Structure 1
Amino acid sequence: MRPVDHPGAVAESPAPVGASPARHAFTALGLAAGPVVALGFTRFAYALLLPVMHERLHWSYAQAGGMNTANALGYIIGAATAAVWARRLGNRAAFLWGLAVSALSLCATAATANFPALLALRFVGGFTTAVAFVVGSVLASRVATGAGRGRAALPVAIYMAGVGAGVVISGLVVPAALSAGQDAGWRLGWLLMGLASVAALLPAWLGARAVAEPTGPHAALLTAGQVRRLAPTLAWYVLFGAGYVSYMTFAVALLRSQGLGSSIVAVFFVVLGAASAVATLTVWGHLAGRLRGGHAPALVAALVFLGVLPVLIMTPGPAAALLSAVVFGASFMAGPTAATVIARRMLPAHGWTAGIALLTVAFSLGQAVGPLLSGLLSDSQGGIARGLWLSAGLLVLAAVAALFQREHSPS
């Protein structure tokens, strides 16, 4: 499990520290097109399409959750092999090819109602978006290499804010597609997101080309000691992934079952995405870089837990939905931000890709199990709310696990 060097590797050639903060921000904005596609479209937009697909295609909630499980399984394999693809193709090529295939899988999802085919497409989309997201996180981490903690964390936060932007876009596009397309509205929704993903390749390419390819040694895997030191964060990320994605998968279905109309549901999704983008940029980019050890991950899990509660304990209605959207949205994408910052801070530069990949595998394991368990509980007596209580419990456990993380030197 020791680092393996590229043949003929020379000294590390990081991105220039002297570049202006504005240039760093523009580079990170281009890279942020990756999370727009990888998570905003490929993963989270499914929550908007799930109720209609559940009804039109006569699925059980377990089948609906299984779609996200297939996506998460692909994500696990993609994350586990991201370092390999980055070594073989280079960071830029792995990032861009991952996004290109993701865009094609979204377009293809519109072309079939066959359950096994849709499972396969969700799996492929999960695989390619994981590669793109992990490698894109590494590129974002390299934008301000050598800068202080706060300045170095800001490009990561800008990158992660792309998820919120993707959620906002899907919250505007999908309801319109469902309304315009009638029975075939879910197909139109997938197609429009696929075409938007194709358009996102240009800014992603511009961002990626502005970051220097690393020329030094790259670890294929972390050492056993490095894994042990990150163990609390790995445990936190499994529990956090299971908890938050269960909410993201079934929250819209819960609101629909509570009698909220499509317009309120669309507003809920847009507010959630906007809160995510704004908070990630204005709060978490600075906070995650300053909190020590596992304090940032613990705070994130606690706030996401509070964001789940309004739709479970308050009187059903727009107020509960929007409060949940604001609190949950403002904190859920701080999880990947905090994880990336921890990897960057506690691992040597040649281990960043392997470290972020390992953390993403842990995250994906939780995301694979969470929706399936939540869907099974939602099919039982108690309905969707019972499944979301599982989400809340897992987030509490995640916050506790994170507190065991201690600060470690990259060496």
Structure 2
Amino acid sequence: MAHSALPRPVDRPRPVNRPWLALAGLTLGVMVTNGFARFAYGLILPAMKSELGWSYAQAGWLNTANALGYVVGAVLTLLLIGRVAPSQLFSFGLVATTASLLATGVEATMGWQTFWRIAAGVFGAMSFSTASVLTARLFPGDPKRNALAIAILFGTGGGLGIMLAGASLPLMLEAWGPSSWRFGWYIIGGLSVIAIPLGLWSARALHVPAPRNTATGGLPLRRIWRELAGYAGFAMGYIVYLTFLGAWMADQQASAGLIAGVWIILGVALVLSPFVWRGVLARHNSGRPLAMILTGIAVGSALPVVLPAGGAVVISAIVFGLCVFMAPGAITSFIRQNLPPASWAAAMSLFTVVFAVAQTIGPFTAGAIGDATGNIGSGLLVAACILLTGAALAAFQRPLD
């Protein structure tokens, strides 16, 4: 069926009452599914590694398990998006991810940890990919506000989660010792519970029927493969920094105060990133924004290893934070500017699947490299090279007619 034959309400999203409040609820959802469920682990990891006697590969495996769950969740979302409304998938994913976080602190065995890290990935993918679809409908016909809303969703959502985790977890773990790692999961799980009501309200405010014509066969895959490849490079590379930065700093004998400070700075940079990139996302409908963003992430990843002395790690956190969560924003903006609304959900789900599959490679591989070389910094440098390769591919992505 041609896109022009679709019902009018699907082609033209309706205006939303109180769109900024709805955006706040969606942003809190991203705080839970990204800032907490995926990246707070990097702060709890050193304590768990020390208390439970893990190697770097074992520690990296749990984020790989989370990424494998993300693959399953992304594929499920792609299959369900034509049958279940995005708002319902977002709501279910948000509540189930919160439950997974709370359950992670209950038991220390690797099997238990693996199960709940996978579960957090499955449910987080459902909520994350549909959050971007819902956000793209907030300001119909207003490219500038759309670009800003998309940037705020990813930057502020993830940034707020990292700020809250960075301000609480390292100091708590230093004061109470590595054996208190369980309370880290309870803290972020409790904060997630607080975020649920507004997130569910936003989903109801943006509820529309399940979109038609969402089969991926209707997407111009041959014309967008460079953007897909660039996003795969992003997925393989960025996760290494957020998984192992805390462990690398601990290996360098960094204090808990410095680790907390760097993560807070990282979170602040993430919150500010939408205002740095909104103009770029609004002006360009090619792969250029993604290429620029990936280059910045690569520089941020390599900087603390190349210049380990002085304030390089602080500069690294600023550069990395200003860029990292804008990659999903660049993808959402690219989809919105180049594809019809009826294809947005399927396209975002497809990009999420590619992202999820590629993301499984990073943490375990980087951990294995760290074990082999005796320095997890080697994994950070390999990740930077992968990110630069993705940037080069994305740079050649042209706009669609």
TM range (shorter): over 0.9
* SS of aligned partner of 1:230: helix
Trace 1:133-282 onto structure 2 (pairs within 5 A). 133-147=128-142, 149-160=143-154, 161-214=156-209, 217-223=212-218, 226-280=220-274, 282=275
Superposed displacement of residue 393, structure 1: 0.6
* SS of aligned partner of 1:315: coil
1:362 equivalenced with 2:354 (yes/no): yes
* SS of aligned partner of 1:112: coil
Superposed displacement of residue 87, structure 1: 3.5
1:41 equivalenced with 2:36 (yes/no): yes
Q: State whether residues 271 and 326 of structure 1, in contact with CA within 8 Å, keep that contact through their aligned partners in structure 2.
A: yes
* SS of aligned partner of 1:316: coil
Please name the residue that 2:292 is paired with: 299
Superposed displacement of residue 16, structure 1: 3.6
Cα deviation digits, residues 358-402 of structure 1 (max 9, x gap): 111111222110111111100012411111111111111011010
Query: Which of 289, 294, 313 matches 2:282?
Result: 289
* SS of aligned partner of 2:254: coil
- Output the CA distance in 2 between the equivalents of 1:140 and 1:240: 22
Query: Which of 363, 369, 376 matches 1:371?
Result: 363
- Output the CA distance in 2 between the equivalents of 1:381 and 1:87: 47
Please name the residue that 1:321 is paired with: 313
* SS of aligned partner of 1:88: coil
Please name the residue that 1:127 is paired with: 122
Please name the residue that 2:327 is paired with: 335
Q: State whether residues 258 and 316 of structure 1, in contact with CA within 8 Å, keep that contact through their aligned partners in structure 2.
A: no
Please name the residue that 1:12 is paired with: 10
Superposed displacement of residue 247, structure 1: 1.1
Superposed displacement of residue 184, structure 1: 3.1
Q: Aligned pair in 2 of structure 1 residues 215, 399: CA closer, same or farther (>3 Å)?
A: closer
* SS of aligned partner of 1:43: coil
Identify the range of structure 1 (116-125 vs 305-314) with the bigger mean alpha-carbon deviation.
Answer: 305-314
Q: Aligned pair in 2 of structure 1 residues 3, 360: CA closer, same or farther (>3 Å)?
A: farther
Q: Aligned pair in 2 of structure 1 residues 144, 386: CA closer, same or farther (>3 Å)?
A: same
Superposed displacement of residue 316, structure 1: 2.9
- Output the CA distance in 1 between the equivalents of 2:239 and 2:47: 19
Q: State whether residues 171 and 260 of structure 2, in contact with CA within 8 Å, keep that contact through their aligned partners in structure 1.
A: no
- Output the CA distance in 1 between the equivalents of 2:203 and 2:87: 6
Matched to 2:239, the amino acid is V
Q: State whether residues 24 and 155 of structure 1, in contact with CA within 8 Å, keep that contact through their aligned partners in structure 2.
A: no
Superposed displacement of residue 151, structure 1: 2.0
Q: State whether residues 222 and 351 of structure 1, in contact with CA within 8 Å, keep that contact through their aligned partners in structure 2.
A: no
| Count of residue pairs the alignment pairs up | 399
Identify the range of structure 1 (78-87 vs 268-277) with the bigger mean alpha-carbon deviation.
Answer: 78-87
Q: State whether residues 15 and 211 of structure 1, in contact with CA within 8 Å, keep that contact through their aligned partners in structure 2.
A: no
Q: Aligned pair in 2 of structure 1 residues 222, 381: CA closer, same or farther (>3 Å)?
A: same
- Output the CA distance in 1 between the equivalents of 2:262 and 2:114: 27
Superposed displacement of residue 349, structure 1: 0.7
Matched to 2:86, the amino acid is N
* SS of aligned partner of 2:398: coil
1:102 equivalenced with 2:104 (yes/no): no
Matched to 1:238, the amino acid is A
Q: Aligned pair in 2 of structure 1 residues 234, 94: CA closer, same or farther (>3 Å)?
A: same
When normalised by structure 1's length, the TM-score is 0.92
Superposed displacement of residue 289, structure 1: 2.0
Q: Aligned pair in 2 of structure 1 residues 47, 183: CA closer, same or farther (>3 Å)?
A: closer
Superposed displacement of residue 181, structure 1: 3.8
Superposed displacement of residue 144, structure 1: 1.1
Superposed displacement of residue 26, structure 1: 2.4
Please name the residue that 1:118 is paired with: 113
Cα deviation digits, residues 109-167 of structure 1 (max 9, x gap): 000101011011100100000000001110001111222x2222221112112111111
Please name the residue that 1:30 is paired with: 25
Query: Runs of 4 or more off by more than 3 Å in structure 1?
Result: 8-11, 13-17, 83-89
- Output the CA distance in 2 between the equivalents of 1:15 and 1:231: 27
- Output the CA distance in 2 between the equivalents of 1:42 and 1:216: 28
Matched to 1:361, the amino acid is V
* SS of aligned partner of 2:141: coil
Please name the residue that 1:56 is paired with: 51
Identify the range of structure 1 (150-159 vs 263-272) with the bigger mean alpha-carbon deviation.
Answer: 150-159
- Output the CA distance in 2 between the equivalents of 1:283 and 1:125: 30
Identity of aligned residues (%): 34
Cα deviation digits, residues 52-107 of structure 1 (max 9, x gap): 11111111111111111110011011112213334433222211110111001100
Structure 1 gaps of 5+ residues are none
Matched to 2:352, the amino acid is T
Please name the residue that 1:346 is paired with: 338
